[in-house]
Structure 1
């Protein structure tokens, strides 16, 4: 990459408060809103962060996959997150790993 010096510098930091149980894992950034969506697998949710000031990410809220209330489906966790054109997509696993998972759209 042109101009890359080979050194990374930390600009900001966010801590989910969950350790030894997944915590913050996979992320997706929405450049139109400056929001970062972070899988918080320890509680089957996605944390929504405001990155208007990247040096101080702010937690705006949490989207719980368990709150979606799909009858007959027990949430095991959120596996992946993506955002495009204002639509957030979550890959949600079943509590029983061998069962089919779900895709949730927001």
Structure 2
């Protein structure tokens, strides 16, 4: 299955794919560029170095599995996903430095 989407609308389609559990959708290079924010030259260079998922040939074209690309993207994180520090107390958030949301202290 080949999924068609543009860089401008890739998030909506990506969410639709994930919601439909079509994790083995096949992506074209421009779609891989949109998801990774890297250019074709970087993708092919990293693929040659063995640090990017390999492509597969389908009907004379080059495609990547969505699941492979998403796994690679998630593996690039060097830190845990961001989470706010502090505690929520009612409608205000108290930070470790004593500041609260909605105040100028």
TM-score by length of 1: 0.23
Larger gyration radius, structure 1 or structure 2: 2
More strand by share: 1
